Homo-oligomer: A and B are copies of this chain.
Amino acid sequence: MQKVAILGIGQTSIGEHWDKSLREIGGEAAFAALQDAGVDKVDALYVGNMLSPLIDSQNQLGTFLADWIGLWNQEAVKVEAACGSGAAALRVGMMAVAAGEIDSALVVGVEKMTDKAGHDVTAALATAADADYEVEQGVSFVGLNALIMQRYMHEFGWKHADFAPFSINAHANAMHNPFARLHEKITVERFEKSSMVATPVNLLDASPIGDGAAAVVIVPAEKVASIPGRPRVIIAASASVTDTMAVHSRKDPLFLSAAYESAKRCYEMAGIKPEEIDVFELHDAFSIMSALSLEACGFAERGQGVRLGLENEIAPKGRVPICTRGGLKARGHPVGATGVYQIVEIVQQLRCECNETQVEGAKIGMAQNIGGSGATVLSHILISE
């Protein structure tokens, strides 16, 4: 398969953008990526989004956004895989370029979630779970993660405070990311005193929703040259893998088998081992997911993901730096956009643009985006050359 490179990146800050419409935030990220790539047009647009039909009464988001940015007479389509929609859109764009069907594409992840509040958004997010077998029984998406976390603590003997380092690291890193939603350092005490959402998940275990958009421009790798201060960034591996929709259908609900499988395929494709990953943007929608992702992707033994946090190995100077721009926890989680934010952030690391949270000498980064409670997992390994 022809290799694909990431030529440009763009993003909006994540927040409550009540003064900007869905198309405006999508357009802002798209134009930023085009400008960063130094091009003024592309052959196609792939949009990752989960909630626009429910929150914005808007479907056909590919054409909707193409129209806004003036990309008529070209291909535009929306790709959806719940919270994994962003990386799913990147993967579709990558395959289109790799197939030789198009020569360049814009991939935009966009979500506007804060115009409605409370029950509406919780119900909308629950569409990522199984409507018949999970949601109909009364479980929300937070509830599912709470059940998993509870079981994990019971099974492996961890207490709630042991998860604090994940949130503390994410908040500390977000302090240096101007696009992050939360700029607020937290402590173990603050983490423990935070209000309960669904036992044992409290407010600081959970990532905040938000309005935001991120975008990348992709082209065949052979069209990109590495220039001083701006290495060529290649998508060295990409894999999308599914598990069962419902958590209760899994033999082991504490093992993210789709995360394991998609990371494994990426390692094989890129010809590397987990130890060679310099920076890992994982899908920390809830603190428990950080632990499970680290274990599934080969960075910790079963039940020991938490230890990496306690031993301070997840910080930018640690052995497995995660959430270096704030992660879902503090950068924010505009669901369908998150996967593209992760890619943008890995590119920033490989370009050495991260200042205080730069991982020294980062050459290989992995981003992992998850739809549902581990139901759809997309991994991408990016390499700078």
Contacts and interface: CB of A to CB of B under 8 A. Distances in A.
A74 interface: yes
A242 B131 contact: no
Contact of A1 (B66, B84, B91, B101): B101
A63 interface: yes
Contacts of A187: none
Given A54-B53, A99-B1, A249 B67 contact: yes
Interface stretch (A75-83, A165-173, A345-353, A359-367): A75-83
Contacts of A95: 92, 95-96, 99, 101
A58 interface: yes
A281 interface: no
- Point out which of A75, A81, A98, A124 has the most chain B C-beta atoms below 10 A from its C-beta: A75
In terms of DSSP, what is the predominant structure of the interface of chain A? mixed
A268 to B, nearest CB: 14
A58 B99 contact: no
A91 B79 CA distance: 12
A257 B63 CA distance: 14
Contacts of A80: 59-62, 77-80
Contacts of A321: none
A101 B70 CA distance: 31
Contact of A57 (B56, B60, B127, B371): B127
Contacts of A58: 127, 130-131
B135 A63 contact: no
A132 B371 CA distance: 29
Contact of A92 (B57, B92, B131): B92
A245 B77 contact: no
Contacts of A54: 53-54
Interface residues of A, number: 67
Contacts of A113: none
B79 A242 contact: no
A243 interface: yes
A226 interface: no
A242 B72 contact: yes
A7 B282 CA distance: 38
A81 B63 contact: yes
Interface in A307-321: none
A38 interface: no
Nearest to A371: B60
Interface in A197-246: 239-246
A111 interface: no
A242 B67 contact: yes
Interface string A272-314: 0000000000000000000000000000000000000000000
13 contacts: A23-B132, A50-B59, A53-B53, A53-B54, A60-B372, A61-B80, A64-B245, A67-B245, A73-B243, A73-B258, A74-B241, A76-B242, A77-B92
Nearest 7 Cβ contacts at the A-B interface? A99-B99, A59-B127, A60-B82, A75-B240, A98-B99, A58-B131, A63-B242
Given A60-B245, A64-B245, A75-B242, 17 more contacts: A1-B100, A51-B53, A53-B53, A54-B54, A57-B135, A59-B127, A61-B80, A62-B81, A63-B371, A73-B261, A75-B240, A76-B81, A76-B240, A77-B88, A79-B79, A92-B92, A95-B101
